[in-house]
Structure 1
Amino acid sequence: MPARVHAILVVRPDGRTPAAHHLRRTLAALGEQTRRVDALTIVACGDDPGVAAVAAASGAESVITAPASTTFAAATAMATLRVTGDAVWLLAQDTAPEPEALARLVGALELGPSVAFVAPKLVRWDDRTSIVSLGVSMTGFGRTIELADDELDQGQHDAREDVLGSDIRGVLARTDAWRSLGGLDRSLSGADEGLDLGVRARLSGARVLLVPTALVAVAGDGVAGLPAPLTAPRRRRRAFASRTAQLHRRLVYASPVAVFFLWLAILPIAVWRTILQLVRKQPGFVIPEWQAALAALVRLPSVARARTRIRTSRAASWAQITPLRVSQRDLREQLDDDADSIDPARRGDLRFFTGGGAWLVLGAIVVSIAAFPALAAWTVLGGGGLQPLVAGVAQLWAEAAYGLRASGFDTIGPADPFAAVLAVVGTLWPFDPSRALVIVWLAALPLAALGGWFAATRVTDRSVLRFAGGALWALAPTFLAALTQGRPSAVLAHLLLPWLFYAGSVAQRSWVASGAASLLFAAVIACAPSLAPALVVALVGAIVLTVVLRRGRGVARLIWIAVPGALLAAPLVWRQLRTGNAWGLLADPGLGWAGPQVAADAAGRALLAAGIPTPDLVGWAGFLPGVPTWWVPLLAAPVALLAVIAPLTQRWAAGITLLVITALGLATAFGAVGISVAFAQSFPVALWPGTGLSLAWLGAVGGALAALDAGLAPRLAAVRTVAATVAMVGVLVLAVPALTSMARGTSLLTNGPASTLPAYVAAAGREDPEVGTIILTPQNEGGVSAQVVWGGSQTLNGQATILSTRTAGIPSDDEVADLTANLVTSSAEDVVGDLAADGVSFVLLAPAAAPESDLSRAFRLSAETALNQRDGLDAVGDTAKGALWRVTQDVQPRASASASVHDLSRTIGLVQLGAVLVALLLAIPTAASRREARRAPRVVGPHWREGR
């Protein structure tokens, strides 16, 4: 039996609890030992008067003071110089042994000289029935595996004896083995110190034993071991220490030939592990991962010293360690979560097929085919604000990047984020991107029904109400108006909003929802920039509520929602702010088109309050000619009434939240109506208030469902179904004119055109996408609009709000104006040569907007005469798109962007792509994230289950 036990007690006051408090309990526990320590050395790290006072009264043979930054390994090395006993006991201020602990550890250590050290069972500081650690091993790749942790102690592991290593806290080591092994490795950053000591002991031919009957209580708040993962900073510190230790051990344990290659692989592996951390929904561990990788790269001298220690003490082969490693099979069994612990009643069933969701989508498909039968045969969608997309997928994505724009001679600037949304849509049908928009239009109603149904699952678990939510969302007046008028950005925004609500309402719970919500948030703002203020206000409100109600848990996930959208919009925001055109950021993306919408007067705002964005009452004005239509807005009254009373029900919290969303949407619509920040030729283009109404409709429908989901007396349960039916019937009647508009010929949708330019130019554009055309359009109020277009057509994704919203001319505008003036007059300048030098091959004199005024007719005739007399212009003839001339001189290629522009475009693209990839990785669900999601209720907020 060892004659003397010398205890080393290290104290460092950096925990959440005062170190002196823990130290008193630990010293009291030492005093209660049935087998007392023979000597005690205290190492006090830092200057803490409380610790100094307790240490001075402890009766320790010496108290060593050290800087506050001293690690446990360094502190034990300092104290080892004073060790005189046969065994050394390693303790920290928060390691309080039970009375029998030392006697049992000493009894195990006397089993023979082959035992290098013995380790106790670590239990929680405040609950000795909960195991903190009992033995440590590692996988074949060096990953640390706790053999037992965070378990209820029922003696299930008490038979375990031989282990590879242990937690360093409470370890009792033979002094000769401790000295020969060189103590703890200081480069491990406080992690895996017991494991590394055990590996070196095993390689020296000694054994490491567990003593499960020796209990030591630990708080995870001291200098030894990893800190308890109670806060985000502690979790990051644990991750850094663990990864640093793993990388260090990998370099130390590897064969000499492999060390250099493992060192070279540190950074590539860090990149791969960064991706894995995002997939695992642990973005907080990315920075610690890179910190650990950089630390491992520069700690080669420490690696060399550690390898030397192993080489000098080694007496056994690495094969002796293999049986003590954890196999992949054992690891899978240990990490397998118990699925039976998930409470299905808490989560609730989705019931998409059994609850009517599938029937709703199927019905919406039938209605869509009946409402838009011709779309199945169309290849390009036209009319309203629609135009074809570019023909190639590569060009689709090129138009979404910073660089030369598709209009103007040398206009360089950021693309609208909407161009990226169109690129995603077009890529879904890569052989003919324009057909993708046709498919979107044909699938819009079932997609809206599907999105509305899933959004309703966040409000209620009743099948009839989920069905009603999907139907009401698909039949929204503003959505049908956007479909029949040809407003692609508004249609896409309406389709995306319910999914943003579905993911965003639980984003504080998980990184999967946060990642998905961030992508949807970016897409919605790209499609409807006027919604940005309302969505930002809603996000800020969610952050404030999370701070108040959840003490900040989940705030980082909510903040991330805005990051990809902010990075995608940043170049456009910077450009517009730099030019003093902040209002231009609200402009609707895509083709500038001044379509029909309500006026900015009392009558118009009254229609907006009823959810109707058009002055013809979504087609009812022409559907029943001569019949009063004052009653039409009342068809949406049941939804509004139910939304208003939702805050007065048991679901008041959800009702108030959804009512706030409704108010934000209405405020957006009221603020947008009548405001023009963009121009199409000489006509102002007002903001479309329908996107604001889509947000308001989302809140109103959700509020109505929350009101109907509230508890009712059994005899009144049928009222729920009746009220939902009345609301659906009212909105269905309101939708009849829009759904029959194509059959009645009142829809603005058209079949194509495949190109907005004459077929001659379109054919040339297919061969050369950089062919230039200057389009001259007489204006009915006098003057002419001039525009330079590159390629075979104007395209929807080629539109840019930096051009349609500019309030001051740019140099290229002056050049276009000079060329236009010289072309349509009898000037003797060589204007055709200037066109050819700028890369323009065609001149198109487009017709004025019907009906043509006398001024525009006179201008057109004089312009035709001037153009026919120009040398170097060959008249192609009259076409459906206007009169066309071809430049017969040698046309120079369009000027390309400079190298600096390409570098800037590449940098911006990489940053934006990186943000999107991070969001995508976060949004990908894993088995662990799905299990975690099943533990939380699907419905957000308190709800009632007394019937469905």
Structure 2
Amino acid sequence: MPARVHAILVVRPDGRTFATLHLRRTLAAVEAQTRRVDALTIVICGKDADAHEFAAASGAESVITAPAGTGFAAATGIASRRVGESDAVWLLAQDTAPEQDALAKLVGALELAPSAAFAAPKLVRWNDADEIASLGVSMTRFGRAMGLADGELDQGQHDGSEDVLAADIRGVLVRIGAWRALDGIDTGLSGADEGLDLGVRARLAGGRVTLVPTAHIAVAGDGVAGPPAPTSAAARRRSAYAERAAQLHRRLAYAPLWAVALHWLSILPLAVWRSLGHLIGKQPGLVWPEWRAAAVAIVRLASVAHARGSIRRTRSAPWSLLAPLRISQATLRERLEDDPDAAEVSAVHRTDLRFFSGGGAWLVLAALVVSAVSFTSLLVWPVLGGGGLQPLRSTVLQLWLDAAYGRRALGLETIAPADPFAVVIAALGSLWPGSPSKILVIVWILALPLAALGGWFAATRVTERPLLRIAGGVVWALSPTLLAALTQGRPAALLVHLLLPWLFFAGAAAHRSWVTAGTASLLFAAVVACAPSLAPALLVIWAGMLVLVLAARAGRGLAKVIWLVVPATVLFTPLVWHQLRAGELGGLLADPGVVWAGPQVAADATGRGLLAAGLPTPDLAGWVGFVPEGVPTWWVPLLAAPLAVFALIAPLTTRWAAGMVLLVIAALGLGTAFAQVGVSVASAQSQTVPLWPGTGLSLASIGVMGAALVALDTGLARRMTRVRSILALVALLALAVLAVPSLTASARGTALLTNGPSSTLPAYVAAEGSDDPDIGTVVLAPLRGGELAVQLVWGGSETLGGQTTVMSTRTSADEHDHELAELAADLVSPTSGDVVDTLADAGIGFVLLAPLDEGTADAASTLRLEAETSLNQRSGLDAVGETARGTLWRVSGELGNRAGVGDAVAATTRMIALVQLIALAAALLLSLPTAASRRAARRTPRVIGPQWQEQR
């Protein structure tokens, strides 16, 4: 039996009040032991008056003050100098309070097991002695540490266990011979797995570890020894870092000499792989600890060398001796698959979605039939044109090149970031790689059923009633803003309308899980990319979500809500920086894509009155041309009144909070539409183009629809089901009547959609440009006032993804604009010199003189005639002839190469692409559901109500 036990108690208060309270209990428990310690050394890490006062009153043999950052291993190493002739060392921390007979039982276990290097107690929770905190530790074949009974209810089921690989370091009693031979605790472990490493080295030195389950020590998890209690996100990150750093350190220390270099080289690739796993597992907070641990393991080679030297000096047993005590792969899988929450009894029961039985599938099918009837001609069109539509690039690679920072597809040599809308177009075109332009035709045909589907799912966040969900889908599919975008050819506005209900569906529950947060972040980025002018309103909604999470959920889910704006921020940062340097911050609000001044309401009282009724066009959703001339149409805006009345009633229902939030969203959307119609930041040729207010109305519509469904869902007594159905049908019938002109516009020939073109340039140029995207075409367009507009297009066509707001929002010309203007002036001036040689040297192979618009003034006709005469007289220009796109000339002779980008631009392109790819990939991985996330979702209600206290 050991004659003398020296206890080492390490204290690190960190300025916390409860740390000193824990220390008082621990000192009292040590003092009350039936088998008293023979000596006590206290190491206080940091300067704390209360801790020093308690230590001085404890009767300790010595009190040592160490720096505040001293770890448990280093502190015990300092105290070991005071051990002297003791026979055993008892390792304690400020939060390890032993029961009265704990030391006596540990000492007795060492007496009965002469081969044991140390004896380990059963660690129980500080405030609940019936729960096991730790009782034995083992590891897998690849070095992953795992507790054998952590978190289990103590029913004596493990009291017969004795022989284990290792144990938690807290409270162990170590023979002095083994302690000195093993040189104490390895300081390179970063504060984790210290007991595991000590047990492994003791086994290799010929000793063993014995468990003493009847010796109980209470631990709180706030001390310097052992993993911190996972009471906060910061504590979980600290624990994750310590565990991973210790695992990497042990891997390098335990590996055969020939494998050390391989393990060291694998640290960074493993960090990448494990980071992806953390994202898929919805634990993004573990990514930073992973990389921090990897960085430490890479540079801390001296600690690895010291650990390997210690093992080499003391090892007398083979490594194979540890194999029977390791955790098997089968056991590991069983523990990982075990769902700790499976036995939870949740008070919330999530009902079935009932997409098929509740009529959702029939709604989508009906919308598909309506779309096929309304847009029959589109079924055979290969490319969609008209309005703000243009073809896409012919290959997926070119689509993504247009989405990257670098040379733009328009202009002489414009080096600038791409609009984020180009990323959306590239992703969309990639869905039909054989002919990317075909995807726009498919989107147009599927727009109505996709809108109905999105509206139905958005309604599931508001109501459980099948009829009201169907109403939500119908409202969204028959929205005047959607139908206007369809008939006028506005791709960005159409995509916004299709994406907004899904953003509402995912964003409303973003605080609950990383799956919905990741999905919502991608949708948020896509919506803002398609309509940057919605960003202020969406950011206000996001800020409101932050406030609600902080106020109602005490910050739980805050990181998830913050993540919502991260991908969008990463996508827009290069463009924001460029426009900031150019002094064109207003250009960030510009609608992306083709700058087109299509029909829309005016920025006056009448126009804003139409916007208040949900109508983005002055023709009253097509009714002005639909009814015979002279028939009054004043009643058309009233068709939107039933839905608006229901929405205004929502704050008067029992779910008033949800109704108020939805009305705030509606107000923000309507305010955005009012502002959009009066703001012009882009220009086409000499005409300024205001923002399209339809995207603001789409945002308002999601709020109005949701508020109306809240009112219909809870504003009537349960027995008034028939009244609820009648009111919903009245609102839907009014919207159906409002939609009739738009749904019949294609059949009546009043829609602006056209079959094609496959290129905005003549077919001859398109054929050349499809093989050589770096061949340029100068397009000259005479204007009404006698001015000449000039544009330089690279490749076989202008494309939707190749448009850039950097050029369309400029308020002053740069040096390349001046150079291009001089080229145009020289081309149409008979007295100019070798301008054709300049074109050839720049890689420009064609000159196109655009035809005149109908009703063009005489000044434009005269200018075009003079320009055509000048171009015909130029040597080096071969006349190709008249085409549907205008008169075409070809530059004869050999063309030079288009100026390449410098190394700095190429490096910037790669860096921006990498950062954006990482952000989007992270959001995508977060959005992928897992079995655990599906189980968690089933424990939360689908409907988002006035309370934000749902369990995650």
Deviation at 1:343, TM superposition (A): 4.2
Aligned to 1:800: 804
**Aligned mates of 1:894, 1:46 — CA distance in 2:** 67
**Aligned mates of 1:320, 1:728 — CA distance in 2:** 76
CA offsets 1:80-128 (integer angstroms, 9 cap, x no match): 2333433322111111112232232223222220122221111111111
Aligned to 1:767: 771
| Shift in alpha-carbon separation, 1:674–1:51, aligned structure 2, 3 A | closer
| Shift in alpha-carbon separation, 1:926–1:785, aligned structure 2, 3 A | same
Deviation at 1:718, TM superposition (A): 2.9
Q: Which runs of 4+ in 1 moved over 6 A?
A: none
Instruction: Give the counterpart of 1:848 among 822, 847, 852.
Output: 852
Aligned to 2:626: 623
CA offsets 1:780-806 (integer angstroms, 9 cap, x no match): 232221111121211111111111111
Aligned to 1:634: 638
**Aligned mates of 1:342, 1:433 — CA distance in 2:** 50
Partner of 2:433, secondary structure, is: coil
Aligned residues of 1:342 and 1:934 also touching (Cα < 8 A): no
**Aligned mates of 2:393, 2:445 — CA distance in 1:** 20
Paired letter, 2:316: A
Aligned to 2:43: 43
Paired letter, 1:187: G
Deviation at 1:427, TM superposition (A): 0.7
Please, what TM-score do these two structures have when normalized by structure 2? 0.96
Of 785-794 and 76-85, deviating more is 76-85
Deviation at 1:375, TM superposition (A): 1.2
Paired letter, 1:704: A
Deviation at 1:698, TM superposition (A): 0.7
Deviation at 1:568, TM superposition (A): 1.2
Of 763-772 and 604-613, deviating more is 763-772
Aligned to 2:793: 789
Aligned to 1:818: 822
Partner of 2:164, secondary structure, is: coil
Aligned residues of 2:348 and 2:939 also touching (Cα < 8 A): no
CA offsets 1:38-61 (integer angstroms, 9 cap, x no match): 322222222211111111111222
Aligned residues of 1:164 and 1:324 also touching (Cα < 8 A): yes
Partner of 1:433, secondary structure, is: coil
Instruction: Give the counterpart of 1:400 among 371, 385, 403.
Output: 403
Q: Is 1:337 equivalent to 2:313 in the alignment?
A: no
**Aligned mates of 2:861, 2:67 — CA distance in 1:** 90
Instruction: Give the counterpart of 2:427 among 424, 429, 433.
Output: 424
Aligned residues of 1:120 and 1:213 also touching (Cα < 8 A): yes
Instruction: Give the counterpart of 1:591 among 574, 594, 607.
Output: 594
Aligned residues of 1:281 and 1:922 also touching (Cα < 8 A): yes
Aligned to 1:347: 350
Q: Is 1:268 equivalent to 2:258 in the alignment?
A: no
Q: Is 1:64 equivalent to 2:59 in the alignment?
A: no
Aligned to 1:252: 253
Structure 1 residues 651-662: aligned runs within 5 Å = 651-662=655-666
Aligned to 2:713: 709
Aligned residues of 1:191 and 1:245 also touching (Cα < 8 A): yes
| Shift in alpha-carbon separation, 1:874–1:315, aligned structure 2, 3 A | closer
Partner of 2:564, secondary structure, is: helix
**Aligned mates of 1:86, 1:201 — CA distance in 2:** 17
**Aligned mates of 1:829, 1:893 — CA distance in 2:** 21
**Aligned mates of 1:714, 1:935 — CA distance in 2:** 26
**Aligned mates of 2:478, 2:910 — CA distance in 1:** 43
**Aligned mates of 1:277, 1:435 — CA distance in 2:** 38
**Aligned mates of 1:259, 1:891 — CA distance in 2:** 58
Paired letter, 1:706: V
Deviation at 1:350, TM superposition (A): 1.6
| Shift in alpha-carbon separation, 1:563–1:217, aligned structure 2, 3 A | same
CA offsets 1:395-454 (integer angstroms, 9 cap, x no match): 111111112211222122111111111111111111111001111111111111111222
**Aligned mates of 1:50, 1:943 — CA distance in 2:** 43
Aligned residues of 2:132 and 2:153 also touching (Cα < 8 A): yes
Aligned to 2:106: 105
Paired letter, 1:574: W
Q: Is 1:25 equivalent to 2:25 in the alignment?
A: yes
Deviation at 1:313, TM superposition (A): 2.3
Aligned residues of 2:537 and 2:669 also touching (Cα < 8 A): yes
Instruction: Give the counterpart of 2:467 among 442, 464, 469.
Output: 464
Please, what TM-score do these two structures have when normalized by structure 1? 0.97
Instruction: Give the counterpart of 1:668 among 648, 668, 672.
Output: 672
Structure 1 residues 565-604: aligned runs within 5 Å = 565-604=568-607
Deviation at 1:33, TM superposition (A): 2.4
| Shift in alpha-carbon separation, 1:796–1:130, aligned structure 2, 3 A | same
Aligned to 2:163: 162
Of 570-579 and 526-535, deviating more is 570-579
Instruction: Give the counterpart of 1:722 among 711, 720, 726.
Output: 726
Structure 1 residues 181-220: aligned runs within 5 Å = 181-220=182-221
Structure 1 residues 527-542: aligned runs within 5 Å = 527-542=530-545
Instruction: Give the counterpart of 1:561 among 559, 564, 574.
Output: 564
CA offsets 1:289-326 (integer angstroms, 9 cap, x no match): 12211221222222222222222222322222111111
Aligned-residue identity in percent: 66
**Aligned mates of 1:70, 1:835 — CA distance in 2:** 71
Paired letter, 1:289: E
Deviation at 1:816, TM superposition (A): 2.3
**Aligned mates of 1:460, 1:745 — CA distance in 2:** 40
Partner of 2:6, secondary structure, is: strand
Partner of 1:155, secondary structure, is: coil
Aligned residues of 2:15 and 2:48 also touching (Cα < 8 A): no
Aligned residues of 1:16 and 1:221 also touching (Cα < 8 A): no
Aligned to 1:235: 236
Paired letter, 1:895: A
Partner of 2:752, secondary structure, is: coil
Instruction: Give the counterpart of 1:833 among 834, 837, 847.
Output: 837
Aligned Cα RMSD in Å?
Answer: 1.8
**Aligned mates of 2:52, 2:822 — CA distance in 1:** 86
Provide structure 2 residue ranges, at least 5 long, that are not aligned to the other structure: none
CA offsets 1:590-632 (integer angstroms, 9 cap, x no match): 1111000011111111111111100111111111123211111
Aligned to 1:497: 500
Aligned residues of 1:844 and 1:885 also touching (Cα < 8 A): yes
Partner of 2:358, secondary structure, is: coil
Paired letter, 2:729: T
Deviation at 1:137, TM superposition (A): 0.8
| Shift in alpha-carbon separation, 1:723–1:827, aligned structure 2, 3 A | same
Aligned to 2:868: 864
Partner of 1:876, secondary structure, is: strand
Aligned to 2:147: 146
Deviation at 1:478, TM superposition (A): 0.4
Aligned residues of 2:402 and 2:418 also touching (Cα < 8 A): yes
Of 929-938 and 449-458, deviating more is 929-938
Aligned residues of 1:460 and 1:943 also touching (Cα < 8 A): no
Q: Is 1:372 equivalent to 2:375 in the alignment?
A: yes
Aligned to 1:291: 292
Aligned to 1:507: 510
Aligned residues of 1:91 and 1:170 also touching (Cα < 8 A): yes
Paired letter, 1:882: G
Deviation at 1:667, TM superposition (A): 0.8
Aligned to 1:678: 682
Aligned to 2:280: 279
| Shift in alpha-carbon separation, 1:344–1:53, aligned structure 2, 3 A | closer
Paired letter, 2:19: A
Instruction: Give the counterpart of 1:938 among 935, 942, 949.
Output: 942
**Aligned mates of 1:828, 1:714 — CA distance in 2:** 83
Aligned to 2:616: 613
Aligned residues of 1:15 and 1:221 also touching (Cα < 8 A): no
Paired letter, 1:332: R
Q: Is 1:887 equivalent to 2:888 in the alignment?
A: no
Aligned residues of 2:14 and 2:46 also touching (Cα < 8 A): no
**Aligned mates of 2:462, 2:202 — CA distance in 1:** 60
**Aligned mates of 1:215, 1:854 — CA distance in 2:** 101
**Aligned mates of 1:168, 1:712 — CA distance in 2:** 63
Of 392-401 and 149-158, deviating more is 149-158
CA offsets 1:194-224 (integer angstroms, 9 cap, x no match): 1111111222222212222221111111111
Aligned to 2:52: 52
Paired letter, 1:394: L
Deviation at 1:539, TM superposition (A): 1.1
